[in-house]
Amino acid sequence: DIQMTQSPSSLSASVGDRVTITCRASQGIYNAVVWYQQKPGKAPNLLLHGALSGAFNLESGVPSRFSGSGSGTDYTLTISSLQPEDYGTYYCQHYYSAPGFGQGTKVEIK
């Protein structure tokens, strides 16, 4: 099974900050990565996913301050300018084979 190691486990940042969350797969996953946001007591929400073409597709309705990048085993979710509503826990997931999730990154607004 492919393991996803996500970091950091938590972060605290101010409104307007650039925030980066990373995921490292235990083997190459050819851009088959997904990022979700989960707010307390709610189901996760799909933010974006990578495609075999190399593109990262933002889900409809997700603000453009969210973006994805990476290749091979290393992938990044970036929030270009953190907003108050961006609090929550973020998870990466691979879908290259039987899926697996990262451990999550809890984002707090200072």
Contact residues: other proteins, CB under 8 A: 1, 34, 36, 38, 43-46, 49, 59, 89, 91, 93, 95, 98-104
Neighbours of 65 (CB within 10 A): 14
Rank residues 14 and 60 by Cβ distance to other proteins and give the closer one. 60
CB of 36 to other proteins, least distance (A): 8
Rank residues 16 and 61 by Cβ distance to other proteins and give the closer one. 61
CB of 85 to other proteins, least distance (A): 19
CB of 32 to other proteins, least distance (A): 8
Rank residues 73 and 100 by Cβ distance to other proteins and give the closer one. 100
Beta carbons of 100 and 8 less than 8 angstroms apart: no
Rank residues 49 and 107 by Cβ distance to other proteins and give the closer one. 49
Strand intervals (E) in the chain: 4-7, 10-13, 19-25, 33-38, 45-50, 56-58, 66-71, 74-79, 88-94, 100-101, 105-109
Structure-token match 């597709």, residue found: 57
CB of 9 to other proteins, least distance (A): 10
Q: Single out the residue of 26, 28, 32, 30 nearest to residue 49, CA to CA.
A: 32
